[in-house]
Amino acid sequence: MKDQLLQIQKTTLERIPSVTDMKELDNIRVEVLGKKGELTAILKGMGKLSNEERPIIGKVANEVKEAIEAAISAKKAIMEKQILDEKLKSQTIDITLDEVSKLPGHAHPLYRTIAEIVEIFESMGFAVSEGPEIEWAKYNFDYLNVPANHPARDESDTFYFNDDVILRTQTSTVQVRAMQAKKPPIKVISPGKVYRFDEIDATHSPLFHQIEGLVVDKNITMADLKGTLDYVAKRLLGSETKTVFRPHQFYFTEPSAEMDATCFVCKGVGCRTCKGTGYIEVLGCGMVHPNVLRQCGIDPDEYSGFAFGMGLDRLTMFKYGITDLRLLFSGDSQFLSQF
């Protein structure tokens, strides 16, 4: 048994100097000193030794173990120093060198679209107005003529902090604040983040962006609404863009409509994206409901107005031919560098 122990020591000490990485060194430790290692296997047979042999072999075993452990520790220290030296060498900064040039950044496609839309409306005399994303429910629903039993008020659609405080589901709340703070004429747009209880997929996200607009003055008509939005669509999507207005129902406008624009894929011919119609829904709009004007302190017999709202994320997808909404939030530099 003594010869076996000494042979293990000799073989192990010869292997250690040629080790090149920490994993290999640890493998040797486990093979020799581990619970199922060579040294442990031999020591399990000490029970068969006589009383005279047992202390002699035990002493040899301890000396062998200590020698191997010391060799492993010494090799480990050498390797750790080599790793540190290589790391320091590779990370050394030569302050005498010229500054390394960096690739210039650029605007995110979503915020490029927002900036472009804001510029278009500002050129038409609209002011930009902002409001809180954490909002009172009354601004999000009550002042906008939304009934108490409307599904949009359910917790399955809206994020509630409590019965009175929510994450806004639309930037129409900013329109309410604008009407309460200022007498007509009013001409504002309100871009910003909104939140709804949606599952994340190629066309939905619980966080998305909207831009809504409001005009209130004397003698404002549906013709003003249609002319304004048709002009914006042509500026944003191309001069050949055509628009179609379809009757719809919103609680805060009457009459209400949805505006479709020429499909960005087929240019109006008809394809899978537009389901063969040649048009894609872009926004909702309508004449401001008299109840909304009245609740904001504006006399509907003296003033009228129109309002509209569009999803900026979807509009960005139309504009740049993006097929998956999640790409806009991925932070993937390879994808974003295309824009």
Q: What is the helix, strand, coil percentage profile of the chain, to 5? A: 45, 20, 35
Q: What are the distances in angstroms from CA 227 to CA 124, 218, 278, 304?
A: 12, 17, 21, 16
* Spatial separation of the C-alpha atoms in residues 122 and 128, rounded to whole Å: 8
Question: Which pair of tokens denotes residue 130?
Answer: 């902002």
Cα 65 → chain centroid: 55
Summarised one tens digit per residue, pLDDT across range 224-279 is: 999 999 999 999 888 889 999 999 999 899 999 999 988 877 888 888 778 888 88
DSSP assigned state of 140: H
* Spatial separation of the C-alpha atoms in residues 178 and 172, rounded to whole Å: 10
10-residue mean pLDDT series, the chain (339 residues): 82 88 88 83 77 81 88 90 84 68 78 92 94 93 88 85 93 93 93 90 86 95 95 89 92 93 83 84 93 93 95 86 85 82
In this prediction, residue 184 carries a pLDDT of 93
Q: What are the distances in angstroms from CA 310 to CA 12, 29, 82, 151, 194?
A: 74, 66, 60, 20, 12
Q: Which of 247, 246, 260 lies closest to 314, judged by CA? A: 260
In this prediction, residue 101 carries a pLDDT of 66
In this prediction, residue 85 carries a pLDDT of 85
- Bridge-based pairing state of the strands 165-167 and 134-136: antiparallel
Question: Which pair of tokens denotes residue 252?
Answer: 């805060």
List, in sequence order, every beta strand (DSSP E) within the chain: 127-128, 134-136, 165-167, 186-195, 207-217, 243-250, 253-262, 279-288, 304-311
- Bridge-based pairing state of the strands 127-128 and 186-195: parallel
Summarised one tens digit per residue, pLDDT across range 290-333 is: 999 999 999 999 999 999 999 899 888 878 888 888 888 888 88
- pTM, two decimals, is 0.64
Residue 247: asked if its preceding bond is cis (omega within 30°), the reply is no
In this prediction, residue 120 carries a pLDDT of 94
Task: List CB contacts of 50: < 8 A, sequence separation 6 or more.
Answer: none
* Spatial separation of the C-alpha atoms in residues 212 and 192, rounded to whole Å: 9
